[in-house]
Amino acid sequence: MGFAISQSSMNDQAPQPSAGRNGTLAIRFTLNGREVAIAVDPTERLLDTLRYRLNLPGSKEGCGEGECGACTVIIDDLPANSCLVPTFQVRGCNVRTIESIPPSSLQPMLESGATQCGACTPGVVVTANWIKEHSGVLASHTMRALMAGNLCRCTGYDGIIDGLENWIGTPRGGRP
């Protein structure tokens, strides 16, 4: 039997552009406010396109299978795990990544200790920013439920939740 650990074909990362090969698809989409036109292999993941071809390595790969949220981006105003999205599917879409969020706005997250090692952090910030922009969802869901798609192994989540509360400017609930 052959043995390589990588068991999932979704993990096949494609740093090399495959334009020109048979079967590639030419697509256009909006990325952080700018038009992008590229040719992609149908199996290419959006995460790899962003990281290895479009020079936006802020989005991270934590698991490659939709569990950790480190790769979170916004597609047409909804958070998505970019490791699970074939790039051709964002044809015509509006994609926003961590690189679209101004660092100067992140002070509340910094002060609360929302980041430690930083590997989960871009995904956390993208989701948090989305919640901030859609704070109406807090009427029906807790922040903890809304953040549950972003795994963090360092902070225990309090730093993230506190930071998000500060960022949104909601009164703090609960703990003195």
If binding is defined by CB under 6 A, does position 61 make contact with ligand FES? yes
Burial 111-124 (b: 16+ CB within 10 A, else e): ebebbeeebbbbbb
If binding is defined by CB under 6 A, does position 36 make contact with ligand FES? no
Site for another protein, residues 36 to 65, rule: CB under 8 A: 51, 55, 57-65
**Which has the closest alpha carbon to 126: 77, 54, 74, 87?**
74
In the chain, what is the greatest distance between 2 CA atoms, to the nearest angstrom?
Answer: 62
Residues 6+ apart with CB under 8 A from 82: 45, 46, 47, 50, 59, 71, 72, 73
If binding is defined by CB under 8 A, does position 155 make contact with another protein? yes
Note whether 37 and 26 are within 8 A (CB).
yes
Note whether 91 and 27 are within 8 A (CB).
yes
The stretch near another protein (CB under 8 A) out of 26-34, 84-92, 97-105, 130-138 is 97-105
Site for another protein, residues 60 to 89, rule: CB under 8 A: 60-68, 70
**For 94, what's the count of Cα atoms within 13 Å in the CB-facing half-sphere?**
5
Binding test (CB under 6 A) with ligand FES, winner from 32, 81, 112, 127: 81
User: Nearer to another protein by C-beta: 86 or 149?
Assistant: 149
Binding test (CB under 8 A) with another protein, winner from 25, 138, 151, 168: 151
User: Nearer to ligand FES by C-beta: 19 or 103?
Assistant: 103
The stretch near ligand FES (CB under 6 A) out of 1-9, 65-73, 131-139, 162-170 is 65-73
**Which has the closest alpha carbon to 12: 39, 42, 37, 38?**
42
- Residue 157 touches which of ligand FES, another protein, none (Cβ within 5-8 Å per kind): another protein
Residues that bind ligand FES (CB under 6 A): 61-64, 66-71, 81, 83, 115-121, 152-155
